[in-house]
Amino acid sequence: MTCAEVQAMLPELIDETLDLSLKADVDRHLLTCPECSQASSEIRELFKAMENDRPLRPSIALKDNFLAMVEAETVAMEASKRRDAGKLVAMSWWSALGKTAVAAAILLLGIGIGYRIHNGSEAASSKEVADLKNAVKDVKETLMINMLGNESASERIKAVNYAEEIPAPNQRVINALVGALNTDKSVNVRLAALYSLARYNDNRAVTDSLVSSLGRQTEPIIQIVLINILGERREPKAIQPIRNLLDNQKTLKEVKDMARKELNKL
């Protein structure tokens, strides 16, 4: 587990929401990495300060200002990329935009806690906290989409995997995943995007996108996984694209074998 991966999980570790299967690995890393240990201490101090501070009532424009800050950070990073054209820039989720946005997101949630204490109204504070959580969700979506533009395939795979941590992603996130599936130059990124999209069994638009994608994929592994997913879903719209693959002389035998198997289900 790398420092970037560990630092990306620190807020959840400290908030005690990190999956137990990951917690042990993160704890072991912190024992041997001074940099990550320092980052953990800083975030813990931030949490402690928010808990001890008096309740604050943010201005109406707080959410808009927060999202504007993230957008400004994104624009600045893109400008920096253009100045360094030709170089491969490795960007971790916790660096630059990620570190700024996560710290601000934690602050927003802390203010949400303050709302509950200050208002004394469970109904009102619950709505306020829900609004702030939605703001944090927006930030996560912005980070994921920004990471998909990274030149490093490993960073783009991280972005796709990060999408799985976003509850009920909006159409913007889904469109970004479909775009990665159809156009990313790395087959590994496309495969990761496919597996991520496969989670949305009840989303008609996603299923239609998978059917459409089948006709444009040329990598056998992507074709096989797509055929399997659509066959398991008993998707009738997949019949013709699958038949097209069977009729194509360039289609590999392994792909045709899977196509015949899944076509029988349809």
Q: Which two tokens mark 97?
A: 């935009």
Count of CB atoms situated within 10 Å of the CB of 10: 21
The CATH fold of domain 120-199: Leucine-rich Repeat Variant (1.25.10)
Instruction: Output the CA–CA distances (angstroms, integers) from residue 64 to 55, 88, 107, 145, in the order listed.
Output: 20, 33, 15, 19
* In the chain, domain spans: 120-199, 201-265
Higher pLDDT, 39 or 186: 186
How much of the chain exceeds pLDDT 70, in percent? 64
Q: Return the exposure string of 18-39: e unless at least 16 CB atoms fall within 10 Å of the residue's CB, then b.
A: beeeeeeebeebbeebeebeeb
pLDDT for 140: 76
pLDDT digit string (tens) for 80-103?
A: 445 444 434 334 444 444 545 555
Q: DSSP secondary-structure letter at 95?
A: S
pLDDT for 125: 55
pLDDT for 88: 40
pLDDT digit string (tens) for 188-211?
A: 889 889 999 998 888 899 999 999
What is the rounded average pLDDT for all residues in the chain? 74
Q: Residue 55: which of 115, 105, 120 has the closest Cα? A: 115
- Residue 78 above 80 pLDDT? no
Half-sphere exposure of residue 110: CA atoms within 13 angstroms, side-chain side? 22
Instruction: Output the CA–CA distances (angstroms, integers) from residue 205 to 94, 138, 175, 202, 216, in the order listed.
Output: 32, 21, 10, 9, 17
Please, which pLDDT band fits residue 45 given cuts at 50, 70 and 90?
low
Q: Which CATH class is domain 201-265?
A: mainly alpha
Please, which pLDDT band fits residue 215 given cuts at 50, 70 and 90?
very high
Same fold, 120-199 and 201-265: yes
Angle at Cα 137 formed by Cα 102 and Cα 169, nearest 5°? 140
- Residue 160 above 50 pLDDT? yes
How much of the chain exceeds pLDDT 90, in percent? 26
- Residue 117 above 70 pLDDT? no
